[in-house]
Amino acid sequence: MAKAAIADRSVKEFEEKQEWWWAAEKKRSSRLDYLRKAIWKKGAIGGLYAPGVKVDLERPVLQTQKARALEFSPDPYVIKFAKMIAHILDNKTIFITDNAQLVGYTGSLPHTIAWDPSLGSFLNEEVYNDPTAIPDPAEKSQQIIRDVNNYWIGKSDLDKMIPVFDMEDLGKMLSGSIGWGVPIARGGYSSKDYEYIMTGKRAYQAIIDELNQKIDEADEQTHAPGATTETSKIYDKINNWEAMKITLEAGIRVAKRYARLARIIAEHFEEDSNRREELLRVAESCEQVPAYPPRTLQESFQYDIFIQMMSRTEAVEGAWPARPDYYHGPYYDKDVNIKKNLTKEEAIDLVGEFLIRAAEVCQFKPKFAREGLQGIDGTWVWTIGGVDKEGRDACNDLTVALMQAARLVRVANPTFGFRWHPRVKDEVMREIFECLRQGLGYPNIRHDPVLIANSMHWYGHPIEEARLWCNQACLSPCPPTKHGFQPMRMANATANCAKIIEYVMTGGYDPVVNMQVGAETGDVTSFTDFEQFFEAWTTQMKTIFSILVRAVNRARTLAPNLTPRPFLSAISERSIESGMDTLTPSLERGNAWVTAFTWVENIDSLAAVKKLVFEDKKYTMAELKNALEKNWEGHEQMRLDFVKNAPKWGNDDDYVDDIMVRCLKTAAKFSKELKCPSGNNWPILPENVSGNIHYANIVGALPNGRRLGDALYDGGISPGPGLDKKGPTAVLKSCGKINHITDGRAFLLNQRLSPTQLAGEKGYQLWRAYMRTWADLELDHIQFNVVDDSTLRAAQKDPEKYQEVIVRVAGYSAHFVDISRKTQDNIIQRTVQGL
Amino acid sequence: MTTCKDCKRFFPLEDNPEKGDCVERIVDPRQAYYKSKPVNAGNDAVSCSSFQKK
C-alpha cells in the first residue's frame, strides 16, 4: 500500500477491516518501524532465497584459512576447531544498523546468509549449485566456493562420519524417502543449559576463571608422582577445557569489537546527540556482556544475542530453544517497575528489537530443509508462560510485553509457545488471544501440567527440572538444566510416516526411489484379515524408526571426539565440571524423540482398508493394490469411495479413533525398546512443519484416497483438510482419546477459526469456552489460524498488497506470500471451525 | 605505497596502532549501517575502492 494511503487512514479503520499489519505499522515507534523494515527476508520463498540475499563467503574463507594453517599443528582437533571459531569471530566484518540498540549477527552483513563449510562437503555442493544466492561477481565467488569446497572434501563432519555409519541405513536415509536431514552433531536443534548461564550468577569471565583453576589443578595432577588409568583421561579434559576457554575469550573479544565500533560511530560520525548517547549505551552494554552478567534489560537481551551468535558460529542451529520471559523477565521488572530506568514504551522498543534481531538470523540450509520450512530459516518457537521450579505461575510483565511487541513488529520468526496452566491470569490470556485474533498464528498453546508429566514419564526428568521446560524445536519440551538439556537433536530422526502404510502395500519396496527401503512384509494380497495387515504396518513402522534412530545414535556416540562443540560445552555446567564435551551421552539424561511427519494418513488408510476391504468386502486387496499402483487413475469412483465412505479421523468416531490410539500405543511401546546413547527412550512426536508439501511428490498413492502429488495432511494429529465434518468439539474429542502423557511426546493440532466470530468480547468468551474444553480433555497442544479465506485468496491474487499477512503453517508461522502455492492452498482448504 | 593508515576510514587500536578497524558507512536497499573490519595499518590500499585519503 502506498505510504499516503496508510497515512490517510486511522488505526481504527485498519483494525475494523482486520488489516492488522497496517494498524501495527501506524502504532509502532519510528525506531521499531525502521528496524522492522530493515530486515532482509531470509526465509526461503517456496524453496529459494529472496532476491538480494546472498551467501556469506567471508566466514568460509576465514575458517578454511585457519584450518589450513592448523592442519599440521600438534593441537588435538577440539582445540583446532576452537581456534577456527576464534579466528572467525576475531576477523569477521561486524555492523551496527542505524537506530539499533542491540547488535550481533551470524553473517558479516545484513543481507548475507552465514555458511559453515565444515558440516558436510555434499552440503557445500548445494551452495555452489545455488546461483540465486551466490554473490556478484558470480565467477569470482564461484572460484572462492570451489576452493573452499575442495578443501573440506574428506574433512567435514559428515565426511568423517559417513565411513563409520551403517552404509545400508545411510543409503536408505539419504534416498530422501523416509528421513529428513543428516545425522551430524553440529546441525540440528541445540538446547542449552540456561539454568547455568542465564540466571545472572555467572558469565564468560567467571567461567574462564573456573576453567583456569580446573586446568591448573589437572596439570598438577598429571605431574604428581604416580600414574593411574585416570591419568590419560585428564589430558583429554585439559584439552577440552582449553578449547572451551578459547571460545569464551573470543566471545568477549568480539563483543568488545562491537563496543569499539559503537564508540567510533558516536565519536566520529553521529551528529544526533540522542543517538550518540544510545551508541555509548550500546558500547557499555557490549563491554559488560558476555564477559560479566547483565545489569539491565538491554544487557540481558544483548547477552542472549551474543550467546546465540556464538552458538550459531559453532553450529548450524535449526531451532532456537528459549524462555525469554523467564530469564529476561527479572531485568524488565528491575528496569521498568523498580528502578524506573525505562518507560514501558522504551521497554517495548527493546523487546520488539530483540524479536527483530532473532528474525534476521539465517544460516545456509540445503534445499530439502528450505522446502520443509518454507518462509523461515528455522523454528524459533520461544516458550513463554508456564510455572517456575516450585510450580508457581511464572507469567510476568515481560510475558505481556512480548505479546504486545509481537503484534507491533509482526515477524514470522520467532513465534511463541505459551505454557497454559490453570492459574494463568485472565489478563495474560487476553494478550495471547489478541495475538491470535490479529492473525499472527501464534502463540500456540501448550498444556503445562500434561507436558510436565510427559517429560517425567518419558525421560524421568525430576519435577523441578521438568517444570522449567522450553521447546527444543517446534513442540518438544526440554529442561534447560545441567543434565536435562539435549545439546543436539538431529533432524534426521524425522520419519516420513506416510511411507509406513505405503510400504505395507508394496512389501517395503519404494516405487518412488526404486529401492527396498522398508521391511519385506510379503505380498499384501495374501493377507486374509486386518490383524495381518496391522502386523505388517507395525513391522514397517519399527523398521523406518529404527533406521533413523540407529544413525542418530551412532552420530551422537561419535560426536564428542569427531565433531565436538567447545563453545556449547563452555556454557554447560556438566562440561565445566567434568571436562568432557557436552555431546557426551553419559552426561545427559536423554530427551530424544522421533518426529512423525505425515502420521494421520496411516490412520485414515488403515480405517479405510479395515472397513472397505476386510469388513464390507466391497473391494479386494488386489483391486486396491492395483488402483494404488496406477495412482488411482481409471479408478476415480473407487477412490471417492475410499475418501467419502470410510471413517475419517477427527469426527469423534470410535471406529477410526480407536485405530489412532492403537497405532500410537504400538509406537509408544516400541519407543521404549529404542534407546538413545544416554539409555533413554525415543517417543514419537507427530507434527509436520511443511513436510506435508515437501513429501507430496515422494509419497505414492494411499488407501485414504490420496494420489501421488496431493498435499499430505497438515498437522501431527490434525484431521485431513475438509474431512472433519462434525465440528470443533468432535475434533477435540477425537484428540482427547489419545493419552497425551504416555502415547507420545507431543501432538500437533492445527485449527482454523473465523476472525468474524472472534470479534469483540463475545469472541474472546467463545474462545475461552473452547479452550476450557481443550484443557479438560488434556490435549498437549493447539494452534490457530485466524485469517479468512477472502484475505488469503486476495493475497494469492495480489501478493504485493498482502506482504505482511502471517499464517500458521504447522509448528511455525510464515508470511503467506513466502510459502508455495501448494502450501497456500493447503491452508485455505483447512476447515474453518465455527465455535 | 598507499596503506590503510593513510585512510580516513582507518581507526587504529589504542594499544597497538599497527592494527585497527576499517569503518565504513553503507546504505543498502533496506537499511543504513556502519560496518567494521579488522585491518593492518600497513596493508596495501592502492586497489581499495573504499580508500579515502586522510
The reply to whether A53 touches chain B by the CB within 8 Å rule is: no
B22 secondary structure, DSSP code:
E
Give the count of domains, chain A: 2
Compute the average pLDDT of residues A143-151. 97
Give the three cell numbers for residue A329. Answer: 523477565
Among A75-79, A96-100, A372-376, name the one with the lowest average pLDDT: A372-376
B40 contacts in chain A (CB < 8 Å): none
Whether the predicted pLDDT of A65 surpasses 90:
yes
With an 8 Å Cβ cutoff, are B33 and A98 in contact? yes
- The span from the CA of A344 to the CA of A284, in Å, is 22
Domain ranges, residue A212 = 201-293
Residues A512-567 pLDDT 10s: 999 999 999 999 999 999 999 999 999 999 999 999 999 999 999 999 999 999 99
Strand-strand pairing, B32-40 and B19-27 = antiparallel
The answer to whether position A579 is within a domain reads no
> Measured on CA atoms in the order A545, A550, A553, A555, is the torsion positive or negative?
negative
Q: Return the SS3 of A446.
A: strand
The predicted structure's pLDDT at residue A320:
95
Q: How many CA atoms lie within 13 A of A307 on its CB side?
A: 30
Could you give the angle at which helices A58-70 and A138-152 cross, rounded to 10 degrees? 40
A683-726 pLDDT, tens per residue? 999 998 778 888 999 999 999 999 999 999 987 999 998 899 99
CATH number at residue A210: 1.10.132
User: Which residues from B are below 8 Å from A57, CB to CB?
Assistant: none
Contacts of A360 in chain B (CB under 8 A): none
Distance from the first to the final alpha carbon of chain A = 33
pLDDT band at A666 (very low <50, low <70, confident <90, very high): very high
Beta strands at A781-785 and A750-753: parallel, antiparallel or unpaired: parallel
Over residues A63-92, the mean pLDDT reads 97
Mean pLDDT, chain B, as a whole number?
96
Any residues with CB less than 8 A from the CB of A673 and at least 6 apart, and which? none
Give mean pLDDT, residues A261-270. Answer: 98
Chain A residues near residue B34 by CB distance under 8 angstroms: 95-96, 261, 264-265, 269
Strands A489-490 and A444-447: unpaired
Q: Does residue A229 register a pLDDT over 90?
A: no
User: Would an 8 Å CB–CB cutoff place A253 in contact with chain B?
Assistant: no
Q: Around Cβ A783, how many Cβ atoms within 10 Å?
A: 27
pLDDT score, position A449: 98
pLDDT digits (tens, 9 = 90+) for A776-803: 999 999 999 888 888 899 999 988 888 8
Model confidence at A252, pLDDT cuts 50, 70, 90, reads very high
pLDDT at A2: 63
pLDDT band at A230 (very low <50, low <70, confident <90, very high): confident
Length of chain B: 54
Q: Which residues of A752-778 are buried (b: 16+ CB within 10 A; e: fewer)?
A: bbbbebbeeeebbebbeebbeebbebb
Q: How far is B45 from chain A (nearest CA, A)?
A: 18
d(CA A245, CA A78): 12
pLDDT of res. A649: 97
Convert the pLDDT of each residue in A357-408 to its tens digit.
999 999 998 887 887 778 888 889 999 999 999 999 999 999 999 999 999 9
Confidence of residue A201 (pLDDT cuts 50, 70, 90): very high
Q: What is the pLDDT of residues A577-601, one digit of tens each?
A: 999 999 999 999 999 999 999 999 9
For the segment A107-125, what is each residue's pLDDT rounded down to a tens digit? 999 999 999 999 999 889 9
- Out of A293, A327, A351, a domain closes at A293
User: Is residue A429's pLDDT more than 70?
Assistant: yes
In a domain, A232, yes or no: yes
Mean pLDDT over each residue of chain A, to the nearest integer: 95
Q: Say which range, A659-673, A713-727, A803-817, has the weakest mean pLDDT.
A: A803-817
Given this model, what pLDDT does residue A590 score?
Answer: 95
CB contact under 8 A, B26 and A93: no
CA of A257, closest CA in chain B: separation in Å?
9
Tell me which chain B residues have a C-beta less than 8 angstroms from the C-beta of A264. 11, 21, 23, 34, 36
Number of cross-chain residue pairs from A and B with Cβ atoms under 8 Å apart: 60
Q: According to DSSP H, which parts of A162-296 are helical?
A: 167-174, 194-197, 204-223, 231-264, 273-288
Final residue before a domain boundary, out of A263, A293, A323: A293
* CA A737 to mean position of chain CA atoms: 27
The predicted structure's pLDDT at residue A4: 66
Smallest CA–CA distance, residue A762 to chain B, in Å, is 41
| d(C-alpha A570, C-alpha A588), whole Å | 15
A346 phi and psi angles, rounded to 5 deg: -65, -35
Percent of the residues in chain A that have a pLDDT greater than 70, as a whole number = 99
The Cα A525–Cα A72 span in angstroms is 62
**Which residues does chain B have within 8 Å of residue A269's beta carbon, measured at their own beta carbons?**
25, 34
Inter-chain residue contact B11 with A96, CB threshold 8 Å: no
Q: Can you say whether the dihedral through the CA atoms of A284, A287, A293, A298 is positive or negative?
A: positive
Q: Which residues of B touch A98 (CB under 8 A)?
A: 31-33
Phi, psi of B22 (to 5 degrees): -95, 110
For helices A600-608 and A498-506, the axis angle rounded to 10 degrees is 40
Lateral strand order in the sheet of A494-496: A494-496, A594-597, A684-686
Residues in chain B, pLDDT under 70: none
A125 within some domain: no
Please determine, for residue A430, whether its predicted confidence score (pLDDT) is greater than 90.
yes
Query: Does A98 sit within 8 Å of B23, measured CB to CB?
Result: no
Nearest-Cα distance to chain A for B2, in Å, is: 22
Interface test with A, best of B22, B34, B35 (most A CBs within 10 A): B34
The complex scores an ipTM of 0.98
Q: Which residue has the cell 484443557?
A: A775
Closest CA to A692 of A584, A567, A826: A826
- Cα(A806)–Cα(A821) distance, integer angstroms: 15
Q: What is the mean pLDDT of residues A805-809?
A: 84
Cis peptide before A443 (omega within 30 of 0): yes
Give, as one character, the DSSP assignment of residue A712: P
Report the share of chain A in percent with pLDDT over 90.
83
CA distances from A111 to A40, A125, A534, A599, B28 (A): 6, 21, 51, 37, 9
